[in-house]
Structure 1
Amino acid sequence: MCRNIKTLYNFDPPATNDEIQAASLQFVRKLTGFNEPSKANEEAFNRAVKDVALVARNLLDSMVTNAEPRNRDVEIARARARAAKRFGTGMN
């Protein structure tokens, strides 16, 4: 899994389309190995990002849980604590 792809499920407020788009772009970049596609592959690359975003939105919208929604601020604090432990410094 790409480290840059964040969990988007079960947050209050729900994941935005921009968050899903960013995760989809990271996923397609990882699959293709391209940060930016060549002109010859640009259309296929962009279509893949759009398709992945659509499937991701459908997945997130159709899942159900009894768990309480996660708090974004708490999750950010936890990620910073993990980074500080792992890398020896906090992220501001």
Structure 2
Amino acid sequence: MCRSIKTLFNFEPPATELEIRAASLQFVRKLSGFSVPSKANEAAFARAVEAVAAAASELLAELVTTAEPKNRDDEAAKARARSVARFSA
């Protein structure tokens, strides 16, 4: 899976439509193998992004958990710390 696709569920504040669309775009890019589709494939690519975004929005709206919502800033700090540990010499 693409490294740039982030977990969107159980955050406070909830994921925005922009974040969902960005993840959907990355997913369709990964599936298709195109970072930018040709003119011939542009319409199909755009429809796929919209369909994936709609499905992702529906999924996020229906998921339930008893866990406390995660804080975006805390999770970003943890990710930076993992990155430093992973890539430092």
Map 1:29-68 to 2 at 5 A. Answer: 29-68=29-68
Structure 1 unmatched runs, 5+? none
Structure 2 unmatched runs, 5+? none
Q: CA deviation at 1:9?
A: 0.2
TM-score scaled by structure 2?
0.98
4+ residue stretches of structure 1 with deviation over 6 A? Answer: none
Greater strand content = 2
Aligned to 2:3: 3
Q: Does 1:75 align with 2:78?
A: no
**Superposition RMSD on alpha carbons, in Å?**
0.9
- 2-structure distance, mates of 1:29, 1:49: 9
Matching residue's letter, 1:73:
D
Q: % of aligned pairs identical?
A: 66
Q: Is the partner of 1:40 in helix, strand or coil? A: coil
